[in-house]
Amino acid sequence: MTSSPSDRPVLRLALAAEWTKFRTDATQARLLLGLVLLTVAVGAATVATTTCPAPGCGVDAPRTALTGVLVGQVAAVVLGVLTAGNEYHTGMIRTTLAAVPRRSAVLAAKALVLSAAVLVAGALAVAGSLLAARLLLPGNGPTPAHGYPALSLADGPTLRAAAGSVLYLLLVALLGLGAVTATRSSAAATGAVLGLLFVLPALAAVVADPDWQRHLRQVAPMPAGLAVQATLDTARLPIGPWAGLGVLALWAAAALALGRTVLHARDA
């Protein structure tokens, strides 16, 4: 979705229009707030029930703190879907494409506005989760005496888990945008993306062959993408932290590419 110099005024026009639509839609604001609150609340609840009675108890503190991303991603997916889905539902997409005939510019503008919003909300959600964990974990046993220093972004693995979690939320939102642009149905796109995120890991859990289990976890977008949160025993993961996030990025890029193709091939 790159643009030539002659496309830039069109992209600026599309960006202004998409930003106006996004910021004046109360549903989008509620979803962003829900993403933050759900992520922090679930993360804090998980931390509050995590105990570490002795050294070497195996608690991955950053990953535990960021457990809420599992739930917050649902809000991110729905947000991505509704960024274009509402216009398909109401027929306003015809007006949008009439105002900006370059369809790639429309999709790029939607992706950029969505990305900015999710990056801000995701950063707030992750920061809130880590702060809650920093306050709650010491009372449950993960203390410096047990080999667990206080959570800090100055620690490289913790910073990677935090930044990767923000990018994870961004990528699942873009996956939703690509899916709805391809299907033109909010319900179908939401079902497809959530099914992709949650059904493949469930399938991996019931497969008896350990090699197939590992392969499924390497290609499934959720377990692969969330590998970026791991800070302990990363060598034993089915896929490395950044490589796993790369797998999710490929899923999102494929969805957007498919959406772009459908947007150009079919009438509004």
pLDDT by residue (tens digit) across 164-213? 999 999 999 999 999 999 999 999 999 999 999 999 888 888 887 888 88
How far apart (Å, rounded) are the C-alpha atoms in residues 266 and 40? 41
Compute CA distances 89 → 184, 190, 227, whole Å.
Answer: 8, 14, 36
How far apart (Å, rounded) are the C-alpha atoms in residues 230 and 237? 9
Tokens 């960006």 belong to residue = 15
Chain-wide mean pLDDT for the chain?
Answer: 91
How far apart (Å, rounded) are the C-alpha atoms in residues 95 and 132? 45
The pair phi, psi for residue 201, each rounded to 5°, is -65, -35
**Would you state the pLDDT for residue 226?**
97
Minimum mean pLDDT range among 87-91, 129-133, 137-141, 231-235? 137-141
Minimum mean pLDDT range among 130-134, 184-188, 205-209, 253-257? 205-209
| pLDDT tier, 150 (very low <50, low <70, confident <90, very high otherwise) | confident
Q: Which residues of 246-261 are buried (b: 16+ CB within 10 A; e: fewer)?
A: bbbbebbeebbeebbe
Q: In 10 A of CB 165, how many CB atoms?
A: 31
**pTM to 2 decimals?**
0.93
CB half-sphere exposure, 264, CA atoms < 13 A: 10
Strands (E), the chain: none
**Would you state the pLDDT for residue 10?**
86
**Domain locations in the chain?**
5-265
Which DSSP string corresponds to 98-156?
Answer: HH---HHHHHHHHHHHHHHHHHHHHHHHHHHHHHHHHHHGGGGS-SGGGT-PPP-TTSH
